[in-house]
A and B are shown apart, each in its own frame.
Chain A
Amino acid sequence: MRFHAQVDVTHRPGIADPQGATVERALPALGWTNVSKVAVAKSIRLVIDAADEVEARSQIDDMCRRFLTNPVLESFTVTISELTPSGADA
């Protein structure tokens, strides 16, 4: 089976997010004075072939822990959806 996965990588609490901080400082200039807690995160998308969704998720979790994220600095969430054989969802 083939799956599309989206990995969202966010800063752990206490880790600096200069892009988020800069965007938050800029928003009031356009009138949005009501915005807080802006965070700029990283999104990694990939397609993976695996026997089933459990296997796909397990492999992606492993990738995240060993390579895609640094657990000292970052946390992650994984969203998976099955692709149709024609790849129409891709």
Chain B
Amino acid sequence: MTARVGVVVFPGTNCEHDAAYAVRLLGGDADLVWHRSTDLTGFDAVILPGGFAHGDYLRTGAIARFSPVMDAVGRFAHAGGPVVGICNGFQILCEAGLLPGALQKNAGLKFLCQTVALRVETTSTVLTRGATVGQVLQIPINHFEGSYVCDARTLSALRDDDRVVVRYVDNPNGSIDSIAGICNDARNVVGLMPHPERAVEDVLGSSDGAVLLGSLLVAAASSAPVSVVSSPVRP
């Protein structure tokens, strides 16, 4: 079965075509889903791509959380559907309460656009099931507000429950405990600052992101169909 992936587009999203391209390159189907949509029925996985949703007004991800599609994303996630937030998508998942913590401005206060080494910390998530623990991947980052922060209790829970998905080998942005990506309790929602969709073929400088998005497609193809409609009535 070919996995069908919904790539959510908010006003200001700018990585949706990269994400859709990567999904198709890896053998999946990808459809762009406008943020006004309230129906994710028929999708096997959802990607919240990078960008500046709603201009990042107020805070990164703060307004996007109220887009009609986010109610459907929440239901999709709670029903067990695989959801991955990349960069701004990670920030949105945190603001929406689907992942704990938040992303603050990088230590050093510089916008970072470079390829970094990421270490896979767990393979028990929808994004890393095809990787191996300790595997080091070369993946680009492209963010100003990517320094992961959370309270001490959350950090303990993330460590104890094996929910740190990827860590920076050489922490570029001051993230607490070098965290680059985390997952939820059920391990079907993953957020990460690096962009695996920009590292899926050698011509892009690295194809190391393929193992991550390939994992997502395998998880999507094997997940039970999720029927999800947002609760608010479409205007």
Contact = CB atoms under 8 A, between A and B. Distances in A.
B75 interface: no
B105 interface: yes
B147 A68 contact: no
B150 A16 contact: no
B102 interface: yes
Interface residues of B, number: 17
B105 A18 contact: yes
B58 A73 contact: no
A72 interface: yes
A73 B102 contact: yes
Interface in B103-145: 104-107, 109
Contact of B102 (A18, A67, A72): A72
Interface string B74-107: 0000000000000000000011000001101111
Which of A15, A18, A21, A72 has the most chain B CB within a 10 Å cutoff? A72
Tell me what chain A mostly uses at the interface: helix, strand, loop, or mixed. loop
A21 B109 contact: yes
A21 B101 CA distance: 24
Contacts of B59: 70, 73
Contacts of B62: 67, 70
B104 A73 contact: yes
B218 interface: no
Measured as residues with beta carbon below 8 angstroms from the partner, the interface class of chain A is: under 10
Contacts, number: 28
A20 to B, nearest CB: 11
A72 B58 CA distance: 15
B95 A16 contact: no
Contacts of B149: 15, 72-73
A16 B151 contact: no
Contact of A16 (B94, B101, B109): B109
Interface in B145-169: 147, 149-151
Contacts of A21: 109
Nearest to A17: B105
B104 A16 contact: yes
Interface string B14-58: 000000000000000000000000000000000000000000001
A70 B102 contact: yes
Contacts of A73: 59, 102, 104, 149
**A-B pairs, 7 with minimum CB distance:** A72-B102, A18-B109, A16-B105, A73-B102, A15-B104, A70-B102, A16-B104
14 contacts: A16-B105, A16-B109, A16-B147, A18-B105, A18-B109, A67-B62, A68-B58, A70-B59, A70-B95, A72-B94, A72-B101, A72-B149, A73-B59, A73-B104
Given A15-B104, A16-B109, A72-B150, 14 more contacts: A15-B149, A16-B106, A16-B107, A16-B147, A18-B105, A18-B109, A21-B109, A70-B59, A70-B62, A72-B94, A72-B101, A72-B151, A73-B104, A73-B149
Interface of B: 58-59, 62, 94-95, 101-102, 104-107, 109, 147, 149-151, 174
